[in-house]
Each structure stands twice: as structure tokens, then as C-alpha cells.
Structure 1
């Protein structure tokens, strides 16, 4: 009887110990699960979230670091990719570009095309459950209120003339300020190196940018995307383009305004091709010093004019370095 009692007591102690062990294990597991479920709280606090972003349409509170971003402009699509954040939806088609540009690579392979620039699909955007939407007032001013009901929305004012400022603002909205500053600094440093090499080799040449479109021919000035790149590189412009404007439209009678030591030409659509053919058949074109010296170069419009991004700017710098035969500074 005594032995039975001792055995029962031992069994009871073992059961208590086992129960305590299970409770401890369960508690540890629960703690681990709770920690696994809320890692973003500490990460968000460390990254400075929640935060208020002042932008062109007001102030928007972003509660946590965005993980599902929709961008409604091609330059902002490229900016999100530049900052290496998750882009679930974006505008793919832009002018003569029908898909996301190849230079964005695999970063947009899972990104949904949310419709044309002038009429994005709001239902599709909502179905993507974004936690941040970015666009520009110049693009979608009328849609701001509707977009804001889908997710926190940040609008830049425009795209071309302030494309670098837009990357800085997007860096704040995405919690990637340091990366935005670093990417811009790397681009600007490379532009200066290439520009200095060109000036040293070619004797501070003037560079003209002529864009042929279905309409008046355009000379691109300082506020255009390409104008900003050339200014960052420290390359001189002819008087017609050494202006704090976006562009100047010229007729065939004003062809001489396109002249410089070197002329870079882009063409848009068939209408642009027809305009270029007429211009270049004009005797005034043949008299330009750049034409006579063989210093006229055809480059891609989708890179030099419409990419409006750090990625596109680097391709432009590649072209400039190759054209002048200088170190690409990569």
C-alpha cells in the first residue's frame, strides 16, 4: 500500500512537472508568435513612422512604412524602383512607350499595369490594396480625392523640371531618405566627371538638343529633363537653349537657332520623322557647323526626353560618354 502511494505520488509529481513544462513551452511559443506578428511596429518606429508628409495637395499621414505602393506616373514608377520599394501597381504606357521600360528589369515583373496615364483604373488600384499612392497634380489633380479614399496619397506638383526634388520627396514618404540622397549624389557625381572629361577633350563644346515631333520642332532648354542632365554635367548650351525655360519651338526659317558644336536629335512617332526629313533637307540645315563637321547624333527619345529618372539619366550619360569617347565613369 505504501509502495502504491509512493508510486502515485511520483506519478503526480511527474504530471505536474510535465504540465508546467507544457505551459512554459506554450507561453514561450505564444511570446514568439506575438513577436513574429508585430515586427513592423518596432521597425516603423525606428524608421520614423507614423509620419506626416507635406506635398502639393496638402499633408498626408502615413502610419507605417509603405509595403504596397501604386505610382501613377512613369517617372514616379522609376523612382519607387530606384528606392527599392515594393511597387504593386503603376502606369506602364506613356506616349510611344507601351509597357514598363526594359531598363527597370525584374523590379516591375510583378507590377500590375493600372491603365493609361489619362484614365487609370481606380477599381484595379483599389483591388491591389495599396498602402500608398503617388502621382502628380499635373497628371491627376481631379482624381486626388478619390485616390485618397483608397489609400494615403502623395502628389508632387509636376514631373520634368523637378524630377530630382520628386525623388527626395518620395524618399521621405517611403522612409528611404538616405537612399534617395545617395542615388542622386551618385548620379550628380558621375555627370560632373563625364562633363569635365568632355570639356577637357573637346574644348568646352556647345551642345544643342533638337526634338522632332508632329508639330513645331523643339529646342530643349534648362528646365527639361535633358536640360537638367546637361547642366549637371556642366556642358555649355547655345544661346537659343541657354534659357531657364522648358523648350523653344522653331520653324524651318529658324533652323540656325539649332546650331552648336554638337547636335543631338530625337524623333517622336511618324510625324516627327516627317518633320525631321523636311528640316534636314532644308539648305539652312546643311549650313549648320555641327552638320558640316559631322557632329549630329540620333539618340532615343524615350531615354533622353521621357524617362525622367535617375535610371534614364545614367543611360543619357552613357550616350554622351560614348559619343565623345571619354571614360563613362561607372
Structure 2
């Protein structure tokens, strides 16, 4: 399957997930304050004094001990929570505002709405986290902010802010950290099955059209690209508008550069989970230059509620959206 790299665009991701400021990543776990005790488990793990089994995990910051079966995981960013849900694990602590019914699919919101909060993204409250008695803390963006949390529980650090890796690589590393690789495999298999189905059924439409994803930006700009490109390329869609091969964006363009969309037969623009465009995207949709774009005039500009990839559940839903778009081509 194709992979799409997240390069920049904290504005768009902040709008979508309420406080997210990052790129995308390879796995990294910071050294934790939990030491192994005497005795090892058959696969090289260790045994804590309480009898809880741990595993050695190779991370960006060395080898650390993490629980063999984490049960009480606190996350410092919204993406972390969405990835854990895909792995069948509901976190016990999430950032303020992570459970937002406007921004999240209903089933996701229902799982997160009653979860305790641990402070705003980027400013974790150590007392609130300690009160939850976590056995693992997940952090992908705030290395310095989470250093003090090592005395509470092992801290899994993922350098998603600067490393610029891929969301599907990222969730795979997270699955290893929480020992849920088999669950991830099931979700990935389901995704690949849907991709194959759509590619086969709509081969003609896919082979004869060019697409681009975009969203509104501030100050008379719009953004080309999104991690949704991962799914678009997996389905086989040809990406136009000058987006670099194997990259996702977000590439800023001024409204005066909207001519870049002329080579596209169809466009995909972002909307929230409630179906409404964000204010900046709505400004784009209302602009006279947008209304003059050939694909827009042809009625081939389509909304997507899964514009920012977070996990395979989002990706599977995005395949379904693309399938409905292809039916209209």
C-alpha cells in the first residue's frame, strides 16, 4: 500500500483535532522511571516487584521496560487516543477537548466522552495524570513536557513532531508498544480488503481521472494535500495539482494560484464530523475563484469527513467516501 508523509500544516490539524500540533512519526519511547526486578520472563521481559510482567522495547531513546499488557494508558495528544481506540484500548486519560462531538465520529466520541482529562495538549498536568494511576503514558509531540512524568509511569515518546514519518507506520509502532499487533493486523487486513474491492469495481473511473485534496487556510490561502492522500493513492487515484509524489502536504497556495487545480477532474475538501466545513474552508468554498474551477463547475468537488488520517478506522471510512465519489464520476 502507498504511504503518505505529513510534512507540515499544524493549522489544519489543530482545527480538526482541537489542539494537535505535529507532523507524523517513527516510534520512540523515553527512558522510564520503572526498573525491572529479579527474574526474567521467557521472552526476555522482566518481572516487577508487584508481579506484573514487563517487556523490553527498543525506542528512539534506548531500551525501556513497558508493561506486557498495558491496561491504564494516558495519552498526551488526540491522535494518540484515536490510535489506541483502533487497537481496542480506551485510554484512561486524554487532553482537554479531545472528546468533541463536532470533530469526531459518533462512535469515537461515545468512547471518549467520559474519559478523564489531563490538561490541554502540550501542557500535561502531572497531578491529574498521577491520580489516574497509569501503567503507561503515550507522548508523540512533547518530549520535554513529558520528561517529568517518568516518575509516574513509563513514558512512550513518539517523535511525530519532527521526524515526518507515516501514520500507518506510526500506529504499527504504537501497536508494538501496547502489545496489540494482532488487533492491528485485523484492522489493516480489513482496510486492504476494502481498497481491493473499490479498485476492482471502479477501475475505469480510477484510471481516467485526476484528483486533489484541499482545505481552506488563513489569510486568503488554501492547503493542497492531506494524509488522506495515503488512502487516495492506495485506491489508485492519480493525484494532480502538482503535489509531490509520495508526499501529502499541506502545501500552502494563495487563492490567486487556484489555477493549479485545472488539471483535476475531481476535488476532495475537508469537513468536520458533523458535515460542516471549518470557517476557513467555507471561505474557500464561497470564493468566486473556487466556483470557477472546472471540477467545481462540473459538480465534482466532494466533502470528506476523514480528511486527516488517524487510524485504520478512519482509513476504511475514507475508502467508503471515495467509493461514493467514484460512483458519481
Q: Does 1:219 align with 2:224?
A: yes
Q: Does 1:277 align with 2:281?
A: no
Q: Does 1:108 align with 2:112?
A: yes
Q: Which residue of 2 is the match for residue 142 of structure 1?
A: 144
CA contact (8 A) 2:101 2:109 kept: no
Q: Which residue of 2 is the match for residue 288 of structure 1?
A: 293
Q: Which residue of 2 is the match for residue 258 of structure 1?
A: 261
Total equivalences in the alignment: 271
Q: Which residue of 1 is the match for residue 199 of structure 2?
A: 195
- With normalisation by structure 2, the TM-score equals 0.72
Deviations 1:116-150 (A, max 9, x none): 213222211111000001111xx212213112221
Structure (1/2) with the larger helix percentage = 1
CA contact (8 A) 1:209 1:263 kept: yes
Deviations 1:41-69 (A, max 9, x none): xxx86896521222334332114321111
Q: Does 1:73 align with 2:77?
A: yes
Task: Give the Cα separation in 1 of the matches to 2:108 and 2:281.
Answer: 26
- Matched residue of 1:294: which SS? coil
Q: How much has 1:78 moved relative to structure 2?
A: 1.4
Alignment of 1:1-330 (within 5 A): 49-91=53-95, 93=97, 101-104=105-108, 106-136=110-140, 139-158=141-160, 161-201=165-205, 203-215=207-219, 216-220=221-225, 224-245=226-247, 246-259=249-262, 260-266=264-270, 269-278=278-287, 281-282=288-289, 285-300=290-305, 303-305=306-308, 307-325=309-327
* Structure with the larger RCO, 1 or 2 (CA within 8 Å, 6+ apart): 2
Structure 2, unmatched stretches of 5+, are: 1-40, 46-52, 272-276
- With normalisation by structure 1, the TM-score equals 0.72
- Matched residue of 1:191: which SS? helix
- Higher mean alpha-carbon deviation, 264-273 vs 254-263, is at 264-273
- Matched residue of 2:138: which SS? strand
Deviations 1:278-314 (A, max 9, x none): 2xx12xx4543312322112333xx212x52222222
Structure with higher Rg: it is: 1
User: In 2 relative to 1, CA 177–119 (structure 1 residues): closer, same or farther, beyond 3 Å?
Assistant: same
CA contact (8 A) 1:75 1:163 kept: no
- Matched residue of 1:50: which SS? strand
- Matched residue of 2:299: which SS? coil
Task: Give the Cα separation in 2 of the matches to 1:74 and 1:117.
Answer: 8
Task: Give the Cα separation in 1 of the matches to 2:101 and 2:165.
Answer: 21
CA contact (8 A) 1:92 1:98 kept: no
CA contact (8 A) 2:217 2:281 kept: yes
User: In 2 relative to 1, CA 292–273 (structure 1 residues): closer, same or farther, beyond 3 Å?
Assistant: closer
Deviating beyond 4 angstroms after TM superposition, the runs of 4 or more aligned structure 1 residues are 44-49, 94-101
Task: Give the Cα separation in 1 of the matches to 2:301 and 2:104.
Answer: 29
CA contact (8 A) 1:286 1:292 kept: yes
